[in-house]
Amino acid sequence: MDDFYLPKKSKHRPSSVTYSHHLRVEIFYAIIDLQLQELNNRFDVVSGNLLLGMTSLNPTNTFANFDKEKIMILAKHYLNEFGESKLRELSYQLDTFIIHMRRGDPILSNLKEIGDLAEALVNANLVEIYSLVYLLVKLTLILPVATATVERAFSSMKHIKNELHSSIGDAFLSDYLVCYIEKDIFVNISNDAIIDRFQNMKMR
């Protein structure tokens, strides 16, 4: 690895860099840069902050990825839940929370996922002590489901709001989307039951 690198085009002329440098800088680092650029293009700043905050709450390896600053940035995205006073209180709770989590309590050890953390906080009766941390954990658990639901709705909208339905109203579009997204449920409802339901509705 310490020998000078020999490019394929000029095997008789060794370059000024070693094989180690060539593999590390010109290949490995270049691929890492490409992957990082692809991730940055795929996720905007808000999405990146949410993902980093979720990772910082992960209890794996005794909260090895715990980062208070990133968790606080995550909380700031929930403006309705965390005002200025609650953000200050959350900051204090996080300081004692990480000490408590790493103390070696059997109930709080060997946690693998954020869901395990939420369950452990309930079982250890720590929900009231770390109420804001627990709230943030719950919001973190909901986030992937909410994101997937929104993506499903926008994906379905491409099929629903087409040229034939370009002027569809918001209320009708919402009802239409529910039927389309939850088609596995509606397939079990007979057309006769739907017709009877509309016939029995009062005139507006």
Cβ neighbors of 173 (< 8 A, separation 6 or more) are 157, 160, 161, 165
Rounded average pLDDT over 60-85: 88
Question: What is the structure's pLDDT at 108?
Answer: 78
**pLDDT, the chain, mean:** 77
CA–CA distance, 55 with 112 (Å, rounded to integer) = 12
The residues spanned by each domain of the chain are 45-147, 148-199
Instruction: Give 169-202 pLDDT, tens digit per residue.
Output: 667 667 666 777 677 777 788 888 878 877 887 6
- CA–CA separation, 72 and 84 (whole Å): 11
φ and ψ at residue 18, rounded to 5 degrees: -90, 170
Q: Note the pLDDT of residue 192.
A: 84
* Separation of alpha carbons 21 and 4, rounded Å: 9
**pTM for this predicted structure:** 0.54
Bridge partners of 4, per DSSP, are: 18
Residues in CB range of 107: below 8 A, 6 or more apart = 120, 123, 124
40 vs 86, higher pLDDT: 86
How far from chain centre, in Å, is Cα 178?
A: 24
Which range, of 40-44, 67-71, 118-122, averages the lowest pLDDT?
40-44
Measured in degrees and rounded to the nearest 5, phi and psi for residue 13 equal -120, 95
Most confident of 25-29, 72-76, 142-146: 72-76
pLDDT tens for residues 36-68? 777 666 655 666 777 788 888 888 888 888 999
Q: In this predicted structure, what is the pLDDT of residue 64? A: 86
Can you tell me the distance from the alpha carbon of 28 to that of 26, in angstroms, rounded to the nearest whole number? Answer: 6
pLDDT at 166: 59
CA distances to 42, 129, 176, 177, 189 from 183, rounded to whole Å, are 30, 43, 10, 10, 10
* More confident call, 46 vs 114: 114
CB 57 within 8 A of CB 117: yes
Amino acid identity at 173 = L
- Residue 147 clears pLDDT 60, i.e. is over it: no
